[in-house]
Structure 1
Amino acid sequence: MLFPTPALTAADLHVLEQIDVMRQRLRHLVQGAPAPWEDRLRTFLTADAVAASNTIEGFRVSTIDAQDLIAGERDVEVSAEDREETLAYQRMMTYVQTLHDVSDFSFDKGLLNGMHWMLQGHRHTPRRPSGQWRPGPVYVTDPRDPSVAAYTAPDADQVPGLMGELVDWLNQDDGEAALVRAAIAHLNLVSIHPWSDGNGRMSRSLQTLLIAREGVLAPEFSSIEAWLGRPGNTWEYYRQLGDRGSQYQPDQDVGDWVRFNLLAYHQQAQTVQGRWDRSAAVWDLLEPAVQRLGQESRTISALHEVAMTGRIRRVRYEQAEGLSTQQAQRDLRDLVALGVLVASGRTRARTYVAGPGFPERALETARTPMTLTDPYRSAPA
């Protein structure tokens, strides 16, 4: 038995309608003429999702370090374990993103176990296998006392049947809203806990895959993992899961779980829209500034990266503009000489941050925080 999809309230339907409007607006922007900074925004959103989802599980890599790791940088100051977990999750998420428009796609146990191997294959042992159902019991311990089981998953011999039921449900088209269906899929998978490890990230990835398969937004714009990874939201995420009970109890109303996810969808859409708008505004401010500095127009992308993320490395600039190493080094050296950028670190690990001559209005625009609204506060009762 799986968790049933609850009936939506008037407030839920109102919020869902608002989310659809925002996502359609973003889709129109994404499908329009390509913005010069769009690829970097996609990379940022992917890195943000990877970093946040791993942070929930205790692996600490910042979004900007995740971006550098994904770009192939070797000299990033993170632990070997955090590096491996970041790259493994990025590989699995990249695969998820490629599945969004596969014409003959279907869910099956092999797909889910294959995704799990991408995520956890580097941790495979006979006792804790990757890419196959767990052979024994699994517990989620209480963070306040690891000797206490906050949740005990179904017995291992129940897992194949429950996963077969989940796969059948995933392949049905019952007319439910895709975002609601994705939230229920997440809850079902994380509650079955079919693997020895990696169940949380797999469940969040499954949710992203279902949203991406809907086809409204490109996969990079579809994940709520970055929202879930914010400290206060992570606490509420665990509370919501904890409210389901200490054992597998699918015969219950999970309307509050759906509302939690609708809030996440809404606020993540606000966040992505805000970053899109700031990216556009910062680029528009940097174009005339670069002209005044007498620099090549391609250097706008380097300054844009610094404004939006805080720093840039030579390799990322080189890749973004298709430059030779010598060209990229020369451009960055010229910007340092002008005081626009400041270099820090050894040659291979050198980063560039804003210097005293960096266009101030662009920095102010990039650093101005946005305010997120709670759509349920204005929704009908």
Structure 2
Amino acid sequence: MHSQKVAHYDSPHQFEPLMPGERLLGPLLEQASDLIRAVAAVGATAAQEELRALLRAMNSYYTNRIEGEHTRPIDIERALQQEFSANADTARKQRLALAHIHTETSCEKHLDQSLAEGGNVVRDLYSLKSLQWLHRSLFEQIDGEDLRLADGSNLLVGELRQAQVAIGIHEAPLHSALPGFIARWADVYGNARRGEMSIVAAAASHHRLAWIHPFSDGNGRVSRLHTHLVMYAMGLTKGLWSPLRGFARSEDRYRALLRGADEHRRGDLDGRGNLTTQGLIDWISYTLEVCIDQVQFMAAQLDVTNIQSRIEAALLFDASTKSAGVRIEALAALHYLFATQLELGRSDFKSMTGLGDRVATDLLSSLLKAGYLASDSPYGKVRFAVPRHALRFYFPNLWPEAERDVDMLKPAPAPQHEGKMRERPVAQIHKDRPRA
């Protein structure tokens, strides 16, 4: 039986296979098992909530960059402070970034609550209702001309598309058939066996959702955010890593493998579905490799044995530039907060600096103002935080674009500092991937 290039996709059997056959799953399940083991090595961090807020901004930057709709990290930071550019296009991109941040935040909080109540949150994410909610949340904050599409129509926010579309050479399913395709997508992936199989399913579902192209625009953002949330709901990310960064860092490969999995079956040895089985396998393998790479990178970044020297580098730089009253005497107390994941009373923190009370009080105030510490009240306990300008020291190469932008937030000259830990080059994820 040969696959048929149909004029119109109107039946869910036309995007089979949704999963590789049983005999082809072995290597993919091994990769999923490797991901689970890698996740176990990611330690908790004292600055978890502050770091997660930073990572949400980073995720919004990278997913919008794939669409060519990103703004600079500094503009995202300004938008978070409700400072929008006078340039209409930049302001629109700022709103897109904020929408992604807010959607990711609210979704993760909802998932946490549902998990606490014993809900099957992974299965619930695989539904038309969830997809429509994601789309609506991502785009309801922009309006007017910002919603105008290339063909002159307006984006239908949270609604399935009402017209036929083609993406490159791929002709998406008829709009009248979308509910059937989505129902089949939800049934297969939402009911995948827990554990390694559900991780393989999450990777496969990303392509098949993009292939369905349920909305008139915004499908890439919805697909990527959906994959991020499924990984989160399965307890894999802890909010401390995301495949979105990896997809953006290997964008050419990401796009090429999505297109490759769009293809029709390549012959009798390429499965029995209408679409290519090998293309789907290649996509799943790539996605799992990206996830493993991101997890391993973040595990190294959060390694408590290395953080002291990185805190020291940040403090020394700020002290050398006489920035905001920061002093190296804060090192022991900051490292203690990171290593123990505790909070300290202000008097205890000051005593750990070894300074006199007045100088220590000034230092504590400077650290709070500069973002090295966070507190829930003016006189409350303090905890470890991640100052944006020290990102290059604390977590080198995590968000290089933000590291470069930080000089616009702080007038001091950029340090010639290179973090010792380096992420495995994206080019090594696949031996045939070109070097960055």
TM-score by length of 1: 0.71
Per-residue CA deviations over 1:228-283 (Å, capped at 9, x if unaligned) read 112xx111111001112368985431111111111101111122223324655423
Quote the offset at 1:48 in angstroms. Answer: 1.3
8 Å CA contact 1:3, 1:188 repeated in 2: no
**Is the Cα contact below 8 Å between 2:211 and 2:262 reproduced in 1?**
no
Q: 1:132 to 1:243 in 2, by over 3 A?
A: same
Q: For residue 131 of structure 1, what is the amino acid of its counterpart?
A: G
2:371 pairs with 1:296: no
Distance in 2 between residues matched to 1:150 and 1:54, nearest whole Å: 23
Q: Alpha-carbon deviation of 1:11?
A: 4.8
Partner of 2:255: 238
- Please say if residues 15 and 375 of structure 1, whose CA atoms lie closer than 8 Å, have aligned partners that are also in contact: no
Q: Which amino acid aligns with 1:270?
A: Q
Q: Tell me, yes or no, if the aligned pair for 1:117 and 1:130 is still in contact at 8 Å.
A: yes
Shift of 1:73: 4.3
Partner of 2:334: none
CA change 1:355–1:184 in 2 (3 A) is: same
- Alignment-derived partner of residue 171 in structure 1: 190
d(CA) in 1 for partners of 2:75, 2:369: 17
State the distance in 1 between where 2:86 and 2:368 align. Answer: 22
- 2:235 aligned residue (215, 224, 229): 215
**Alignment partner, residue 54 of structure 1:** 64
Q: Which residue of 2 aligns with 1:45?
A: 55
Query: Separation in 1 of the partners of 2:296 and 2:259?
Result: 27
* SS of residue in 2 equivalent to 1:79: helix
Structure 1: distance between partners of 2:375 and 2:411: 18
Out of 136, 157, 162, which is 1:135 matched to? 162
Counterpart AA for 2:422 = M
Give the direction of change, closer, same or farther, for the CA distance of 1:75–1:53 in structure 2 (3 Å limit). same
* Candidates 343, 351, 364, aligned match of 2:409: 351
Partner SS for 2:410? strand
Q: 1:70 to 1:150 in 2, by over 3 A?
A: farther
Q: Give the structure 2 partner of residue 113 of structure 1.
A: 132
Q: Give, in whole Å, the separation in 2 of the partners of 1:375 and 1:266.
A: 10
Q: Confirm or deny: 8 A CA contact 1:151 1:247 kept in the other structure.
A: no
Aligned to 1:252: 276
Residue 63 of structure 1: how far off its partner (Å): 3.6
Q: How many angstroms apart in 2 are the aligned matches of 1:255 and 1:4?
A: 10
- Are 1:370 and 2:422 an aligned pair? yes
Structure 1 alignment gaps of length 5 or more: 141-148, 306-316, 325-348
Name the structure 2 match of 1:228.
Answer: 247
What is the RMSD of the two structures over their aligned residues, measured on CA atoms? 3.5
Secondary structure class of the residue paired with 2:156: coil
Give the match for residue 5 of structure 1: 19
Q: Is the 8 A contact 1:68 1:76 kept in 2?
A: no
How far apart are the structure 2 equivalents of 1:229 and 1:170?
Answer: 24
Distance 1:75 1:322 in 2: 30
**C-alpha separation in 2, matches of 1:161 and 1:81:** 34
> Which amino acid counterpart does residue 199 of structure 2 have in structure 1?
L
The amino acid across from 1:211 in the alignment is: M
Greater C-alpha Rg: 2
* Counterpart residue number, 1:335: none
Deviations 1:167-221 (A, max 9, x none): 2234314245332121111111100000000000101111111111112432x22
* Distance change (3 Å), C-alpha of 1:375 and 1:60: closer
Residue in 2 that maps onto 1:85: 96
Alignment of 1:184-333 (within 5 A): 184-218=204-238, 220-230=239-249, 233-245=250-262, 251-253=275-277, 254-277=280-303, 281-283=309-311, 290-292=327-329, 296-297=363-364, 299-300=366-367, 320-321=374-375
**Which consecutive residues of structure 2, in runs of 5 or more, have no partner in the other structure?**
1-12, 266-272, 320-326, 331-358, 379-406, 432-436
Provide closer, same or farther for how the CA distance between residues 66 and 296 of structure 1 changes in structure 2, counting only shifts above 3 A.
same
Q: Contact conserved, 2:228 with 2:243, CA < 8 A, in 1?
A: yes
Task: Classify 1:376/1:304 alpha carbon distance in 2 versus 1 (closer, same or farther; 3 Å).
Answer: farther
Q: What is the CA deviation profile of residues 112-169 of structure 1, one whole-angstrom value per residue up to 9, with x for unaligned ones?
A: 11111111233557753111110011222xxxxxxxx332211111111111222223
Structure 1: distance between partners of 2:185 and 2:91: 35
Further displaced range: 119-128 or 152-161: 119-128
Give distance in 1, aligned partners of 2:189 and 2:30. Answer: 25
User: What is the number of equivalent residue pairs in this alignment?
Assistant: 317
- Name the CA distance, whole Å, in 1 between partners of 2:90 and 2:173: 34
Structure 1 contact 182–210 (Cα < 8 Å) conserved: yes
- Cα 1:39–1:127 shift into 2, 3 Å: closer
TM-score by length of 2: 0.63
Identity score, percent = 20
What displacement does 1:62 show? 3.1
Match of 1:20 among 5, 21, 36: 36
